[in-house]
Structure 1
Amino acid sequence: MSSAGIVAVDAEAVCRWFATLGVDFAEPLRFDRIGLGQSNLTYLVRDQDGRRWVLRRPPLGRLLASAHDVAREARILAALEGTAVPTPRVLGLTDDPAVTDVPLLLMEFVDGQVVDRMPVAQSLTPERRRAIGTSLPRTLAKIHAVDLDATGLTGLAGHKPYAQRQLKRWSGQWEKSRTRELPALEDLTRRLVAAVPEQREVALVHGDFHLRNVITSHDSGEVTAVLDWELSTLGDPLADMGSLLAYWPAKGENTSGDFGATALEGFPTREELVAAYLAASGRDLTALGFWHAMGLWKVAIIAEGVMRRAMDEPRNKAASGAPTAERIDALVAKAHEVADRAGI
């Protein structure tokens, strides 16, 4: 076994678990931490013959209730098999104490390109960047078109108005994970609470949809797998577009930390993303300004939580490091600007 950093799984126990799943493998298994995910920990698992799988587990240290539920993620992925939504296939899920002290999720390895670092984004042609960028809102439209009854996902979450649920949940997360006073965020929360739009439909919502959370085809740039479903729920589909816009900085904006890929030549503008989603979904996008501001608010709170977890338990820190207070402040400032423009 080898790893990039500390591997928080028992290799021998996982081997025994593989055998019970009927997975064809040749020992020994090798585990390498992959991705820049700052929440659930993800490992590339390889065997002696070069076969590959992906293993997910919750982060180390103190966890917020329900925030890192890999069993729930497994349920959603299994339900989406056979739909138009591209996802990796679930191979196994266990919380057996003989194998692990936390739930483990095993998935198929989907080959492709993950644009999660600036050198990767810079290596792409402008044409490939555009193909990847325009595929994202089309993929979101597929997620939002999922038949909840047919997939058995109707009971995934409550059907009460999503914005209020999100505002309550993430305000609570902020209180539990904040590292400092931030009056600008408190003010933004008040603005959002006062401006909640009417919810017109309930759809499957990914909850954290952005460039780093998809695998794209080496040939066409199309999305071949959507990853990281741990925040998925039922709600207003415009929330996902708001999050995508929040994670899509334009040239000169400083909300993205060290990952400003979407400002590179070729990637579509936020306006072009919106147009592509409208063309694919036909939805009324009147309330999108609210959801863009709320997306930035939510990203800021998530980033604060990541910063807090990295302070509490340094082993949770991914290769890219943790977010900074400066970046979180920039996200909140941008959210106020978007809210102003939307008349909130």
Structure 2
Amino acid sequence: MSATEQQLFSGTRPVAAAHAFDVGRLDAYLRGHLPGYSGELQVAQFNGGQSNPTFRLAAGERQYVLRRKPPGVLLPSAHAVDREYRVIRGLAGTDVPVARAHLLCEDPDVIGSMFYVMDYVEGRIFWDPRLPGIAPAERGALYDEMNRVMAALHRVDPQAVGLGGHGKPGRYLERQIDRWTKQYRAAETEPIAAADALIDWLPRHLPAGDETPRIVHGDYRIDNVIFHPTEPRILAVLDWELSTLGDPLVDFAYHCLAWHMAAGEGARGMAGEDLGALGIPTEGAYLQRYLERTGRVATAGGAPAVSAAEWGYYLVFNLFRLVGILQGVLARALQGNASSARALEAGRRARPLAEQAWAMAQRLDGGRVA
């Protein structure tokens, strides 16, 4: 991603016509429900994001962020801003940095769909995992911080923070495959042979066993965290729409897709890059550090609790899951109600990613990923 693309995804713009709402009605609601709210309300829409439209609210000396469900016909179980709100509230006070969540409005009459309001967090959001313009030493520190925060999330006891009901126990992968198959079919815009092959292959090659359910983010990427303005420290993890209870290793594998996707043509990855020169850890080293932080290495230098075959399967599944997400983005773009102006370009990545995932599935052999 170029510096120009970084600028396109960063910052705000006037509210898109497809996502416009009655600002006066929102203002009246906030005055009655948000303690400390005062001043003239000004609304701008964030450029980034493909799913839930997100807005910056400025009123008096305070700034907030509003996340809403998009208008129009939506896929089943998608755009769950109420789940986002509840998990952010639950994680407040843990080692997982989140913005302070203030209120959830489930009444669609206020702005046309459900929404929640949280604090605006000032900091840096990076859209390119290669971190152009950052010194190699700081790149390594930024990645180590992402690793630390994800490990902290996966160490949280869901019951202890009131999130024991945030998902169903057991059969996580099986249920996820079923869910994303349904999501993909519901948003399908054209036949993709590789996606059809994966839909057949994935349930027939499920790895044995299920991790103890933990809170999984579902979309943990470098552009879904806010770093401190000058320090390699995460101030808030964003975009909890896909969070649930599930297998943390599957969640971490999704995070590691950046090592398997090349940059360019709308993709944000770093496959084929000279990671050593960039100061970015290899996927293997990054995975090992996570396993150590979450106690999944039996002894120092011992065998990790994930085989190469399992890890390969988790990567294939997550590529397919991303295909399902992008198919939904494309469907919304074609309907004209997508959150991002570049949604059409993003959605068209579904086919090449499906083909990449199917090629990887075919190469899984004898516990090794070719």
Regarding TM over 0.5, the answer is: yes
> C-alpha separation between the residues in 1 aligned to 2:362 and 2:124?
37
Deviation at 1:290, TM superposition (A): 1.2
Alignment counterpart, residue 257 of structure 1, candidates 266, 278, 288: 266
Q: Matches of residues 90-129 of structure 1 in structure 2 within 5 Å?
A: 90-96=101-107, 99-116=110-127, 121-129=131-139
- Aligned with 2:131: secondary structure? helix
> C-alpha separation between the residues in 2 aligned to 1:290 and 1:55?
36
Who is 1:33 aligned against?
45
Who is 1:133 aligned against?
143
> C-alpha separation between the residues in 2 aligned to 1:237 and 1:216?
23
> C-alpha separation between the residues in 2 aligned to 1:217 and 1:128?
12
Deviation at 1:161, TM superposition (A): 0.8
Who is 2:342 aligned against?
320
Task: Work out whether residues 312 and 364 of structure 2, in 8 Å CA contact, stay in contact via their aligned partners in 1.
Answer: yes
Deviation at 1:218, TM superposition (A): 2.2
Task: Report the CA distance shift for 1:140/1:102 in structure 2 as closer, same or farther (over 3 A).
Answer: same
> C-alpha separation between the residues in 2 aligned to 1:17 and 1:321?
31
Who is 2:79 aligned against?
68
- Aligned with 1:43: secondary structure? strand
Deviation at 1:136, TM superposition (A): 1.8
- Aligned with 2:64: secondary structure? strand
Deviation at 1:104, TM superposition (A): 1.3
Task: Report the CA distance shift for 1:319/1:159 in structure 2 as closer, same or farther (over 3 A).
Answer: same
Task: Report the CA distance shift for 1:155/1:258 in structure 2 as closer, same or farther (over 3 A).
Answer: closer
- Aligned with 1:316: secondary structure? coil
TM-score, scaled relative to structure 1: 0.90
Task: Report the CA distance shift for 1:150/1:308 in structure 2 as closer, same or farther (over 3 A).
Answer: same
Who is 1:273 aligned against?
286
User: Which stretch shows the higher mean deviation, 260-269 or 191-200?
Assistant: 260-269
> C-alpha separation between the residues in 2 aligned to 1:200 and 1:95?
33
Task: Report the CA distance shift for 1:66/1:275 in structure 2 as closer, same or farther (over 3 A).
Answer: same
Task: Work out whether residues 316 and 361 of structure 2, in 8 Å CA contact, stay in contact via their aligned partners in 1.
Answer: yes
Query: Which residue identity lines up with residue 303 of structure 1 in the other structure?
Result: L
* Structure 2: gaps spanning 5 or more residues: 1-12, 297-304
Deviation at 1:202, TM superposition (A): 1.2
Deviation at 1:179, TM superposition (A): 0.8
Task: Report the CA distance shift for 1:196/1:101 in structure 2 as closer, same or farther (over 3 A).
Answer: same
Who is 1:290 aligned against?
313
Deviation at 1:130, TM superposition (A): 2.0
Who is 2:196 aligned against?
186
Who is 1:162 aligned against?
172
**How many residues of Structure 1 are paired with residues of Structure 2 in the alignment?**
338
**Residues 112-151 of structure 1, C-alpha deviations (whole Å, 9 max, x = no match):** 1111258x93232222222222222221111111112111
Deviation at 1:103, TM superposition (A): 1.1
Task: Work out whether residues 13 and 98 of structure 1, in 8 Å CA contact, stay in contact via their aligned partners in 2.
Answer: no
Who is 2:27 aligned against?
15
Task: Work out whether residues 254 and 330 of structure 1, in 8 Å CA contact, stay in contact via their aligned partners in 2.
Answer: no
Deviation at 1:48, TM superposition (A): 4.2
Query: Which residue identity lines up with residue 302 of structure 1 in the other structure?
Result: I
Deviation at 1:29, TM superposition (A): 1.4
Who is 2:251 aligned against?
240
> C-alpha separation between the residues in 1 aligned to 2:284 and 2:352?
21
> C-alpha separation between the residues in 2 aligned to 1:91 and 1:21?
9
Task: Work out whether residues 197 and 358 of structure 2, in 8 Å CA contact, stay in contact via their aligned partners in 1.
Answer: no
Query: Which residue identity lines up with residue 22 of structure 2 in the other structure?
Result: D
Task: Work out whether residues 214 and 226 of structure 1, in 8 Å CA contact, stay in contact via their aligned partners in 2.
Answer: yes
Deviation at 1:27, TM superposition (A): 2.9
Task: Report the CA distance shift for 1:196/1:143 in structure 2 as closer, same or farther (over 3 A).
Answer: same
Deviation at 1:15, TM superposition (A): 1.3
> C-alpha separation between the residues in 1 aligned to 2:37 and 2:114?
21
> C-alpha separation between the residues in 2 aligned to 1:179 and 1:317?
18
Who is 2:330 aligned against?
307
Query: Within the alignment, does 1:59 sit opposite 2:70 as a pair?
Result: yes
Task: Work out whether residues 215 and 225 of structure 1, in 8 Å CA contact, stay in contact via their aligned partners in 2.
Answer: yes
Task: Report the CA distance shift for 1:43/1:261 in structure 2 as closer, same or farther (over 3 A).
Answer: farther
> C-alpha separation between the residues in 1 aligned to 2:186 and 2:110?
31
Task: Work out whether residues 211 and 248 of structure 2, in 8 Å CA contact, stay in contact via their aligned partners in 1.
Answer: no
Deviation at 1:327, TM superposition (A): 2.5
After superposition, the CA RMSD in angstroms is 2.4
Identity of aligned residues (%): 31
Query: Within the alignment, does 1:217 sit opposite 2:240 as a pair?
Result: no
Task: Report the CA distance shift for 1:236/1:255 in structure 2 as closer, same or farther (over 3 A).
Answer: farther
Task: Report the CA distance shift for 1:152/1:218 in structure 2 as closer, same or farther (over 3 A).
Answer: same
